[in-house]
Amino acid sequence: MALIKCKECGKEYSDLAETCPNCGYSEKKAKEKETLCVSSSRKNKYAAGAFTWFFWFVGGQYIYLGLEGRATWYAAAAQTLILISVFLPVFWIFLLVPIIQAILFCAMPQEKFDAKYNSKDSPRISAGRLPLVFLGIFIRCFLIVTILFFILSVIMR
């Protein structure tokens, strides 16, 4: 029999006991709860691939992965590229980027994906924050397009 220190109240108790006799804390239950919490919100690499494939133009994969900054910049860049592609169709070649990215997500080994996006402190974006994310994308698009048109108008003059 050994003594272990309770994580909740700090008092020592026997490792044979299921719960701390002082405060009732159970290491086993706490661990169960933790794994349950992780598995229910666990990000899936195929979902990441699907989000890339279908929602790349709004940075869907990064919104799914909880990377807000990257999502907004990626989306803004994507929107700008779409706009340019309308005038210069050769720019549609950039469509290869999300296609390759989607394939890479699906082909990524699960452990590597978990280490990158499913660690305990990996970020998440709550549904309530989504309007702000989209507002961020809109503002960036607006800025980029305004600058683009300004440069174009100077060149065309």
Greatest alpha-carbon span in the chain: 86
Tell the smallest beta-carbon distance from residue 22 to Zn ion (Å). 4
From 6-14, 82-90, 110-118, 141-149, span contacting Zn ion (CB under 5 A)? 6-14
Residue 22 DSSP SS3: coil
Residue 114 binds to Zn ion (criterion: CB under 5 A):
no
What is the distance between the alpha carbons of residues 108 and 114, in angstroms, rounded to a whole number?
Answer: 10
Tell the smallest beta-carbon distance from residue 28 to Zn ion (Å). 14
| DSSP character at residue 128 | G
What residues form DSSP beta bridges with 4? 13
Residue in the structure block whose two tokens are 């003059």: 157
From 13-21, 32-40, 41-49, 88-96, span contacting Zn ion (CB under 5 A)? 13-21
Nearer to Zn ion, 8 or 114 (CB): 8
Site pattern 14..53 for Zn ion (x: CB under 5 A): ------x-xx-x----------------------------
Tell the smallest beta-carbon distance from residue 145 to Zn ion (Å). 59
What residues form DSSP beta bridges with 12? 5
What is the distance between the alpha carbons of residues 19 and 13, in angstroms, rounded to a whole number?
Answer: 9
Nearer to Zn ion, 20 or 67 (CB): 20
Q: Tell me, by CB under 5 A, how many residues bind Zn ion.
A: 7
> Which residues contact residue 80 at a Cβ distance below 8 angstroms, ignoring those fewer than 6 apart?
141, 144, 145, 148
Residues in contact with Zn ion by the rule CB under 5 A: 6, 8-9, 20, 22-23, 25
